[in-house]
């Protein structure tokens, strides 16, 4: 899939490892919109997440900026979350997480 959203061309193979096909459009759109994504998965059986998910860094306004960006491009968002992972018994974060409706 070739994606020229926001005037730049990127593909799933520009990422290491390559993006899951089912989350490619969302990740590329967010990256081109200067949202610092760091983890994604198309979701489903055998995947790290049960639903299509993108995690990204940012301050308390970044989640709303990312949400507006994906809604403007007609992606179907299920939820936006501010999360703290617990690592070695201590909260780490917060980070943002967008979950999309399955295709």
Give residue limits of the domains in the chain: 5-100
Specify the pLDDT at position 28.
93
Alpha-carbon 95 to chain mean position? 11
Give CA–CA dist 1/11, Å, rounded: 6
Helix axes 24-32, 62-72, angle to 10 degrees: 120
Q: What is the pLDDT of residue 52?
A: 97
pLDDT in tens, the chain (103 residues): 445 444 557 766 677 677 888 999 999 999 999 999 999 999 999 998 999 999 999 999 999 999 999 999 999 999 999 999 999 999 999 999 999 997 6
Task: Give the predicted TM-score (pTM) of the model.
Answer: 0.83
Give the pLDDT score at 16: 67
Burial of residue 96, with CB atoms counted within 10 A of its CB: 0-12 exposed, 13-18 middle, 19 or more buried? buried
């Amino acid at each position: 899939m070739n994606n020229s959203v926001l005037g730049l061309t990127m593909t799933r193979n520009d990422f290491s490892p390559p993006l899951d096909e089912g989350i490619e459009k969302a990740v590329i759109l967010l990256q081109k919109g200067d949202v610092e994504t760091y983890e994604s998965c198309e979701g489903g059986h055998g995947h790290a997440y049960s639903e299509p998910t993108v995690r990204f860094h940012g301050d308390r306004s970044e989640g709303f900026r990312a949400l507006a960006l994906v809604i403007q491009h007609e992606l179907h968002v299920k939820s936006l979350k501010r999360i703290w992972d617990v690592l070695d018994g201590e909260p780490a974060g917060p980070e943002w997480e967008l979950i999309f409706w399955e295709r």
